[in-house]
Structure 1
Amino acid sequence: MGNASPTAPIPEDALRRVIAPFGSSRTLPGKAYSSAEVFAWEQKQLFEAGWVCLCREEEVCRSGDHRAARLGRQGILLTRDDGGALHAFFNVCRHRGHELLEPGCSANARAIRCPYHAWVYELDGSLKTATRFGDVAVDPAEHELVPVRVATWQGWIFANVSGDAPPLEQWLGDLSDLVAPHAPGRLQIAARHSYEISSNWKIITENYHECYHCPQIHPQLCRVSPPDSGRNLSLRGAWTGGFMELVAEADTMALDGKSHSVPLPGLPSESLREVYYYGLLPNLLISLHPDYVLTHRLEPRAADRTFIECQWLFPPEELDRKNFSPDYAVEFWDVTNQQDWKACESVQRGVSSLGFRPGPLSARESAVYRFLTQVARAYLTGRVNPAG
């Protein structure tokens, strides 16, 4: 499913200003955040041509599990077969195109049954039965579900619709080594929250990558993590990020700074005093804490609308412990998220104004610069380059 890589419908001179040296660059033009034409380009060239996170493996872990997800403009159906193999298909019946499972839903069955005309498929996508089709011959080999490239990393499931993105390992680059000490692959979902906000997905990602705004809108965060602490990294891979430090009195990111869990096993001593923030293009934000992992998974719905699913991951033995509750982590980040969403929605209104002009970046916004240059170069070349 390879395709040509046209440049984005944004003036080249505006993008050249974005990728100018840090300190003299400018942010993206307003059209990048408000144009339906740009949004459609991103859906094809950034989301469908990249590696998009769909969910956690534990959400499709049992034989017979099905899960319907969205990847850009496409519906994806994930299944787990009797041998334990994970499969991904377009969520489209080969008869007349009805979705096999409603988007966002999960099910468990020994086969996949279309709810429209009851065609039945095996969990590996092969056609089992064209129900009540009479004397018309239907060759199963010509009517298998259309597969989608799928891969896993640290318990997350990723899919690449175009089929020609670089291998996931290359997409991740050095991020694999940075995330490995926290071993999120062995953690399990303890809580989840979802939000739908009136903001472009890039504004949300930019906001995630800087704490220049924290003294103004995050008093709770600033009590447990100095907003000018830490540093950002610039290594291989289609990601952006770095770390911040905890104040001496804090164990983790919580309203009172206290952990109600245990440190993740095997962490080096410095990781017990730091929180790591990594954004993997195009849609996964990973926050690594001493005692839990938080993710924000973004699903852009329109140029000015984004669905966000947050998940809090803890060790399975903690989930089994009597009286364990992740509320201390959930409450802190829900407060912080709500503060961020209000700011992001205001920025969305601002960049949509006729009076908006791209602005400069401060010295505290180097991660925003890296993210914006990754996006701007993709706009210029037609796709993300994980090599830099």
Structure 2
Amino acid sequence: EVAEPGRMLVRQVGQKSIVITRGDDGELRGFLNSCRHRGTELAESDCDIAGTIRCPYHRWGYSTDGILKATPFFDEVPRDDFDRDDFSLIPVRVGTWGPLLFVCLADETPELDVWLGDLPERMAGYGFDQWRIEESQVLDIEANWKLISENFQEYYHLTWVHPELAKVSRVKDHYRYQGAGMYCGQTTTPVSGDDRDDWLVLPAAEGLDESDATSGRHIALYPNVIFSVLPNHVFVMRLDPIAPGLTCETCTLLLPPSTPELTGGELDATLTFWIDVNNEDIDICQRSQRGLTRGRIQPGPLAPRFEEPLHRFHNMLADCMTSDSLAGLTVPPGDDGSEAARLGTGPNPAPPTIEH
């Protein structure tokens, strides 16, 4: 989306609008979407800027690294009264992992590599840096973002909500896939093919080891990115909270560089598969939201093997909500470094007992 200089992205992060550019030096940078003159929104949507970010109101201009360069009719103002260097765009932290771009509004939050933990190492075999965006879809879901993330993290519902998915991602083949980092991980090992053409119709990425070539990795990266990694594609969902009972979900399908340009049937089969699965999830999450909104509900216990990731998710959420400062946030540990744990060949343990 912003591979070359001259392109600017506009993204909503919470209540803030952010612009993201790539400078001539190749660096990605993020800024608040507000001119330093009188605060006017710089851009409404993604656009080409030809090297200059211009305010539509009074034509103040900024370089792609946020430095104020143009202020019409200010030539006669003494530098002592107006120093352009004091009016650069307000920077926002950005970082990347593979094809994913992350924005953080809080200065004290741990660096992205700390947040990701061992995920880049675990996923290194896929070579995500070169994967491409094939399709995107934006949906409004009448459910809280946490319900959508929780639904993704557990597979207790798989057989009843996703009968077709359960044929290729069988409950008995789901295992824990958890290392240190702000994420909850599961794996389906092996991914089954059965007699369907939509799951494995696309060619697998080149260079995968045996484990990655036969597995599906399902990761919920706190707080709002969830994705499924298959040998031949990745399905990413970004959850943007709009209101307590409304979430904007952006779905993106990524393909490896070894996959040729597709026409028609092959891509349609994969897209249809995920659209059907996602619609089933949307329906059950909206029903959960409606049920919870009625109140007076005392939650029941979590199913130990199937819903254990929710315990980790709830702890991360509680830590972020109750910490005086995110600077001291403790990134939760994962399983030990043994090969068995890394490849996800053990069932989930029961959640630890909660002290009352």
Match of 1:229 among 164, 173, 192: 173
Q: Distance in 2 between matches of 1:262 and 1:146?
A: 44
Alignment match, 1:72: 14
The residue that corresponds to 1:385 in the other structure is: 330
- SS of residue matched to 2:120: helix
Q: Given the alignment of the two structures, is residue 155 of structure 1 paired with residue 99 of structure 2, yes or no?
A: yes
- Determine the C-alpha separation between the residues in 2 that align with 1:151 and 1:258: 31
Separation (CA, whole Å) in 1 of partners of 2:6 and 2:271: 31
Correspondence for 1:84: 26
Amino acid at match of 1:67: L
Amino acid across the alignment from 2:240: E
Paired position in structure 1 for 2:267: 326
Please name the residue that 1:200 is paired with. 144
Aligned partners of 1:292 and 1:314 also within 8 Å: yes
Change (3 A) 1:136 1:277: same
Deviations 1:23-70, CA, capped at 9 Å, x for gaps: xxxxxxxxxxxxxxxxxxxxxxxxxxxxxxxxxxxx111111111112
Aligned letter for 2:313?
A: F
Preserved CA contact (<8 Å) 2:114 2:181: yes
Distance in structure 1 (CA, Å) of the matches to 2:209 and 2:181: 23
1:361 aligns with 2:313: no
Q: 1:248 to 1:146 in 2, by over 3 A?
A: closer
Report if aligned partners of 1:127, 1:145 keep a CA contact under 8 Å in 2: yes
Match of 2:218 in 1: 277
The answer for unaligned runs of 5 or more in structure 1 is 1-58
> What is the DSSP-based 3-state SS (H/G/I as helix, E as strand, rest coil) of the residue aligned with 1:326?
helix
| 8 Å contact from structure 1 (residues 81, 124) kept in 2 | yes
Residue 189 of structure 2 is aligned to residue 245 of structure 1: yes
In structure 2, C-alpha distance between the alignment counterparts of 1:247 and 1:139, rounded to whole Å: 61
The CA RMSD measured in Å over matched residues stands at: 2.1
Distance 2:67 2:211 in 1: 50
* Equivalent AA in structure 1 for residue 19 of structure 2: L
- Report how far residue 114 of structure 1 moved: 0.8
Corresponding position of 1:292: 233
Cα 1:66–1:163, aligned 2, differ >3 Å: closer, same or farther? Answer: same
- Cα displacement string for residues 217-252 of structure 1 (whole angstroms, at most 9, x for unaligned residues): 11110121212322123321111011013564449x
Whole-Å Cα distance in 1 between the matches of residues 220 and 309 of structure 2? Answer: 10
Report the AA paired with residue 315 of structure 2. T
1:117-160, CA deviations, whole angstroms, 9 ceiling, x for partnerless residues?
A: 22111111111112245755542111110111221111211122
Shift of 1:316: 2.9
* 1:304 CA drift (Å): 0.9
Tell me by how many angstroms 1:312 deviates.
Answer: 0.9
Deviation at 1:261, TM superposition (A): 2.1
Contact 1:187/1:313 (CA < 8 Å) preserved in 2? yes
Give TM-score, length-normalised by structure 2.
0.85
* Bigger RCO of structures 1 and 2 (CA < 8 A, at least 6 apart): 1
Structure 2 residue 297 is matched with structure 1 residue 352: no
**157-166 or 130-139: bigger deviation:** 130-139
CA distance in 2, matches of 1:374, 1:272: 31
Which whole-Å CA distance do the structure 2 matches of 1:241 and 1:122 have between them?
40
How far the C-alpha of 1:331 sits from its partner, in A, is: 0.9
User: 1:216 maps to what in 2?
Assistant: 160
3-state SS, counterpart of residue 276 of structure 2: helix
Letter in 2 for 1:188: R
Distance 2:199 2:92 in 1: 43
Structure 1 CA distance, aligned partners of 2:239 and 2:83?
39
CA contact (8 A) 2:175 2:189 kept: no
Distance 1:324 1:164, change over 3 A: farther
Distance 1:145 1:275, change over 3 A: same
CA gap of 1:141–1:134, structure 2 versus 1, over 3 A, is closer
Match of 2:133 among 179, 182, 189: 189
| Alpha-carbon contact 2:153-2:310 (below 8 Å) kept | yes
Q: For 1:88-103, list aligned pairs within 5 A.
A: 88-102=30-44
CA distance in structure 1 between the aligned counterparts of 2:200 and 2:193, rounded to whole angstroms? 11
Residue type of the alignment partner of 2:154:
E
* CA distance in structure 2 between the partners assigned to 1:218 and 1:139 by the alignment: 61
CA–CA distance in structure 1, aligned partners of residues 289 and 149 of structure 2: 13
CA distance in 2, matches of 1:298, 1:346: 18
Change in Cα spacing, 1:235 to 1:106, as seen in structure 2 (3 Å) is same
Percent identity between matched residues is 33
User: Which ranges in structure 2 are unaligned for 5 or more consecutive residues?
Assistant: 334-356
State the alpha-carbon separation in 2 of the partners of residues 258 and 74 from structure 1.
38
Note closer, same or farther for the CA distance 1:379–1:268 as it changes in structure 2 (3 Å cut). Answer: same
Aligned to 1:180: 124
